[in-house]
Amino acid sequence: MSATRLDDLALFPLQTVLFPGGLLPLRLFEQRYLEMAKICLREEQPFGVCRIREGHEVGTPAMPEDVGCLARIARWDMAQLGVLNVLARGERRFRILERRVEPSGLARACVELLAEERDAAVPDDLQSCVKFLRAIVEQADAVPLEQPARYESCVWVSARLAERLPLPLELKQALLETDDGAQRLARLAAALAKLGARFAR
């Protein structure tokens, strides 16, 4: 393992897209994922969250997208026997190089860590996206949000908006794979306009 590569990363394919800095509540009950979480907690290791390209979250191992996001367990509890509730935090993006499935059904992969997205201050013509995100956060205070908030950052604002907007998962995946924060925010502004969103400029 090197600074830009992980040789044995456990994968958790989901019908969602996790972004760096995102907070993802998970309810684990399948044995393969309970064991994964146990090892991650004991050895302080991350696991990989990938959007499902083919298949389902439960049962036969699903085929994941090539690009996903590292996740680290920030909090956990087991209020019900056999069901583990965790709050995972997104870290670095990665690309799958090789993938294998263990007899338990848990997928593991050799991955390369992708470069951090290029960031910049939110430009004046995209400040409406910041206002829209603030409105979403104020109206849904139960939604976990990374602190401290960074409303001046194109990368941070675009990631939080992409997480919360009811966009097609294919678009969210494309946004995750976008390396430039300002470009990602501009694509989100265009998507909002196409959705017919009405927000103050």
- The pLDDT tens digits for 135-163 are 888 886 666 788 889 999 999 999 999 99
Answer yes or no: do 10 and 95 share one domain.
Answer: yes
- Whether 200 is covered by a domain: the verdict is no
Token couple for 150: 């960074």
Do 54 and 27 reside in the same domain of the chain?
yes
Task: Tell me phi and psi for residue 51, to 5 degrees.
Answer: -70, 140
Q: What digits encode the pLDDT tens for the residues 105-124?
A: 999 999 999 999 999 999 99
Helix (H) or strand (E) holding 78: strand 67-80
Q: Tell me, yes or no, whether 36 and 103 share the same domain.
A: yes
Same domain, 184 and 92: no
**The one-letter amino acid at 147:** Q
Q: Give the distance from CA 100 to its chain's centroid.
A: 22
Residue 48 tokens read as 């990989």
Q: Could you tell me if residue 118 is inside a domain?
A: no
Radius of gyration of the chain (CA): 17
Q: Are residues 164 and 184 in the same domain?
A: yes
> What pLDDT shows up at residue 59?
66
Distance CA 18, CA 176 (A): 8
The 10s digit of each residue's pLDDT in 59-99 is 677 789 999 999 999 999 987 888 999 999 999 999 999 99
Report CA 123 to chain centroid distance, whole Å: 25
Asked if residue 119 is part of any domain, the answer here is: no
Q: Which domain holds residue 89?
A: 5-113
CATH of the domain at 177: 1.20.58
CATH code of the domain containing 55: 2.30.130.40
**44 pLDDT exceeds 60?**
yes
Q: Are residues 10 and 45 in the same domain?
A: yes
In this structure, are residues 72 and 91 in contact, taking their beta carbons and an 8 Å threshold?
yes
Nearest residue to 11 via CA among 62, 79, 53 = 62
Last residue of a domain, one of 65, 94, 113: 113
Residues 69, 176 contacting (CB under 8 angstroms)? yes
pLDDT tens string 4-14: 999 999 999 99
pLDDT (mean) for 23-37: 94
**Same-domain pairing of 39 and 101:** yes
For the stretch 94-99, contacts whose Cβ atoms lie closer than 8 Å and that sit 24 or more positions apart, written own/partner, are 94/6, 94/9, 94/48, 94/67, 94/68, 94/69, 94/70, 95/66, 95/67, 96/11, 96/50, 96/64, 96/66, 96/67, 96/68, 97/5, 99/11, 99/64
Q: Is the dihedral of CA 5, 10, 13, 14 positive or negative?
A: negative
Structure confidence by residue, pLDDT tens digits, 122-137: 999 999 999 999 988 8
Looking at residue 189, its pLDDT comes to: 93
Quote the mean pLDDT of the chain: 90
**What pLDDT does residue 19 have?**
97
Domain count, the chain: 2
The average pLDDT across 43-48 equals 96
Q: Is residue 201 part of a domain?
A: no
